[in-house]
Amino acid sequence: MASSEIRTRCPYSKGVVIWYDNCTVKYSNEFFFGKIDYSHQVYLNNVNNVNDPNMAVVAWMKLFATAELELGGYSDEKFYGLVQCSRDLSSSNWKKCLDDAVSKLQSSCDGKRGGRILGGSCNIRYELSPFVNA
């Protein structure tokens, strides 16, 4: 599915990243293993705002790996988060990539009920409703 979509949308491209909920496909004519890809990023946010802006702040302080968190005194809702990095990154580049994504997500999705940064090396997502089938 991804390969046919890439051929349809980007038939002459030398480097492409395509994202699906359960996978990311990337190719390039340049060596990219072990390097953070800052050039391919997409910012998406939930169109709905949170009821209490403090909910997002509390959630950010606790976000890491895959999580389902109670928001405590702010709401009866739960916070769901997911982070992913490509396997070729070192642990220090993994942290740099996610730190960059978190900072961009905070500025682009602040006050929203959900948001994502899809990158060529790492992805981050949060929602106030479940989005991963576990």
Per-residue tokens: 78: 């739960």
pLDDT at site 58 = 44
| Closest CA relative to residue 87, chosen from 24, 34, 44, 29 | 34
**pTM, entire model:** 0.72
Burial of 106: CB neighbours in 10 Å, binned 0-12, 13-18, 19+: middle
Q: Give the tens place of pLDDT for each residue, 12-38.
A: 888 888 888 777 888 888 888 899 998
Q: Model confidence at 56, in pLDDT bands (50, 70, 90)?
A: low
| 113 compared with 77, residue with greater pLDDT | 113
> If we measure between CA atoms, which residue out of 130, 107, 133 comes closest to residue 45?
107
Q: What is the CATH number of domain 34-127?
A: 3.30.430.20
Q: Distance (Å, rounded) from C-alpha 19 to C-alpha 6?
A: 11
Q: What is the pLDDT of residue 57?
A: 44
